[in-house]
Amino acid sequence: MSADKAIVFDIQRGSMVDGPGVRTTVFFKGCPLRCAWCHNPEALTLEAQTCISKSGKTKTYGETLGFKELWSQIEKDRLFFEKTGGGLTLSGGEPMLQFEFVLELAKKAKKVGIHTALDTTGFGKKEQWQKILPQIDLVLLDYKHSDSELHRKWTGVSGASLDLNFEFILNSGVKVRLRCPIVPGVNNTNEHFEAIGKMARRTRNLELIEILPYHDMGKYKYAELGLDYKLGNSTVSAEDRLDWESSLQKYCGELPLKIPG
């Protein structure tokens, strides 16, 4: 991949769930992590994947797009971005894996005044973060596990390996929305909830703590792709959410917190 070509597996226009306002979310393919709960397993590899869906249709995940091609898609909703306080969200996968391209995109958006959010695990080289942060208006930073080794167990990558980048992002002054997937049996513990509060307080420019309750709606994609789904049938009940809410309130009381109902 380069600065003028990228592989993406979806473009969602009119999204209201990936940052403020109405947005176009570009899902970049490729991710260095392997979260057990990942709801986009089609995001993991950097190559296009073809499979047969349950209904017998051939499906291809991943399309290589030129810069101009993708940009023209994004530009189409510019006026709606302005009207709704929305913009562009770079998501994935891990968009930082296609850094050159993503950087160019963010630069271009900045130049024409399109608000840009980067949905990331914090992965990447420090120099890359130094280059990209000034181009980004909002970082949607995934905070998955407060224990470094358990982080490795559940995502394939140790928490410690992301620490420096987290530090850099949180201190940069760029607006951050902490996105916290809560997965029963993985990180629904008081220690983690407490750590979320701490992490949020360390953030110089915190916009929101956004809780993403686990759901297994990505499960069918594993079957399609011939991958193993490692999490069982853990579901999140309304009571679970209430429990989390009271615990999170305890640790994050004064902070802006959003738990979807």
Partner 1 sequence: MLEEEAGFLAMSLMLDSCVERARPMLKGGMEMLGGTLESYGNITVSDSMYAINQLVFEDEALSMTDYIKCLDVDFDGHEELLEKVLDLPKFGNDIDEVDEFAERLNLHLCKLTRAQAKLVDLHHFLIVVINNSANITLGAHTGASADGRRDGQPVTNGHTPSTGRDKSGITALFNSILKLSCQYHAGAVHNIRFAKETLKKHYSEVVSLVDGYFSLGGAQCMITITSRDELEDAIANPQDYGHLLVRLGGYSARFVDLPKEIQQEVVARNAY
Query: Count H helices, E strands: the chain?
Result: 9, 11
Instruction: Indicate which single residue of 8, 26, 38, 182 sits in contact with ligand SF4 (rule: CB under 6 A).
Output: 38
Task: Give the one entry of ligand SF4, partner 1, none that residue 119 binds, where binding means its C-beta sits below a cut-off of 5 to 8 angstroms depending on kind.
Answer: partner 1
Smallest distance, partner 1 to C-beta of residue 77, A: 4
Query: Under rule CB under 6 A, which residues in 152-191 are in contact with ligand SF4?
Result: 155
Which DSSP category does 87 fall into? E
* 5 strand-pairing partners: 2, 66
As given in the structure block, the two tokens for residue 203 are 């953030």
User: Is 231 near partner 1 (CB under 8 A)?
Assistant: no
Give the other-Cβ count within 10 Å of 242's Cβ.
11
Instruction: Indicate which single residue of 94, 210, 247, 251 sits in contact with partner 1 (rule: CB under 8 A).
Output: 210
- Tell me how far apart the 2 most distant CA atoms of the chain are, in Å: 51
Angle between the N-to-C axes of helices 148-155 and 160-171, in degrees from 0 to 180, rounded to the nearest 10: 110
Number of residues written out for the chain: 261
Residue 163 contacts residue 147 (beta carbons within 8 Å): no
User: Is 31 near ligand SF4 (CB under 6 A)?
Assistant: yes
Nearer to ligand SF4, 86 or 93 (CB): 93
Smallest distance, partner 1 to C-beta of residue 40, A: 6
| φ/ψ of residue 205, rounded to 5 | -130, 75
User: Is 132 near ligand SF4 (CB under 6 A)?
Assistant: no
Instruction: Indicate which single residue of 84, 128, 234, 249 sits in contact with partner 1 (rule: CB under 8 A).
Output: 84
CA distance 146 to 53: 36
User: Is 202 near partner 1 (CB under 8 A)?
Assistant: no
Residues that bind partner 1 (CB under 8 A): 9-10, 12-18, 21-22, 24, 27, 39-40, 42-43, 53-54, 76-77, 79-80, 82-86, 91, 119, 140, 179, 210, 212, 215, 217-221, 260-261
